[in-house]
Amino acid sequence: MDFGRLITAMVTPFDNEGNIDWTTTERLVERLIVEEQTDSIVVAGTTGESPTLTHDEKLQLFSFVLKQAAGRVKVIAGTGSNNTRDSIELSQEAEKLGVDGLLLVAPYYNKPSQEGLYLHFKAIAESVKIPVVLYNVESRTAVNISVQTTLRLAQIPNVVATKDCANLEQLASIAAAAPDGFRVYSGDDSATLPALAVGAHGIVSVASHIVGKELKQLINSYIAGDAANAAKLHQELLPTFKGLFNCPHPTPNPVPVKHALALTGLPVGSVRLPLAPITEAEAAFVASLPPVQKRMQS
């Protein structure tokens, strides 16, 4: 299964009552595919506020986005959690709906050992037949999926990739030793070009909600051997990559990107508690980002 080089971790649009806004979800999927040129979409991942979506809401989202995408891009269901049995159940239900793959975040709060991580992911992967993408984000989960554990999991036939937010040394080590066909994706927009340079296949992006086309150009330039243009594009995009997580201080994803979408013509609503709505200072900072200003003026 080829998920492409640009994967968008999609936000979940909410209405004024905090319920899923299906009309806006349809518009968002179209924007990501047509305007932002994404290759795949992660639905109900952590950027989609998976911890505060119900089991049924996730299934409804998987089904809705599958129908809207209509085969134009791959749909990856966020079915990971810190409860192995629940993740197995949701993964099996997502598979029945026809999703193209699963994204499994490392179990948060539990702080399992490396053996616990291996057994958790192994149990979920072996409960389904569709491709599985691991998701390593220690800053959110308090546990790092080590290089050794990732490579061990890569031996399971349907574990086909990892989205890794660790340092470049870890990404390079995985890319160097992984089986043929196993893909390494950066989970950090600001590391897109450096990650490609050390062997990553692509990016699972948040910024692609508003600069997807530019990100695709960056990736394509690097793959085509035009490192100078790739570097130029990366330098131009870096303030936006950083700004969507530090506006003007560290702000939890997806608060800033949801506001950026609203400013650029697609109001996707606020976030669910315990995330707090964007502040005036944060909103002003997001509005100052170059691609947001450009879209607001067009």
The residues carrying an active-site annotation are 135, 163
- Whole-number Å distance between alpha carbons of 263 and 251: 18
Q: How far is CA 143 from the centre of its chain?
A: 18
Which H or E element spans position 27?
A: helix 22-30
For 250, residues 6+ apart whose C-beta sits below 8 A from its C-beta are none
Rounded to whole angstroms, the Cα distance separating 193 from 220 reads 11
DSSP symbols for 65-131: HHHHHTTSSEEEEE---S-HHHHHHHHHHHHHHT-SEEEEEPPPSS---HHHHHHHHHHHHTT-SS-
Cis peptide bond N-terminal to 248, omega within 30 = yes
Residues 226, 224: Cα–Cα separation, whole Å = 6
Q: What Rg, from alpha-carbon coordinates, does the chain have?
A: 18
208-223 and 255-263 helices cross at what angle (nearest 10)? 100
Which of 35, 44, 11, 2 is CA-nearest to residue 216?
Answer: 35
CB under 8 A, 24+ apart: contacts of 114-117: 114/145, 114/146, 114/148, 114/149, 117/143, 117/145, 117/149
Q: For strands 202-205 and 6-9, give the pairing.
A: parallel
For tokens 């598979």, the residue is 95
Write down how long the chain is.
298
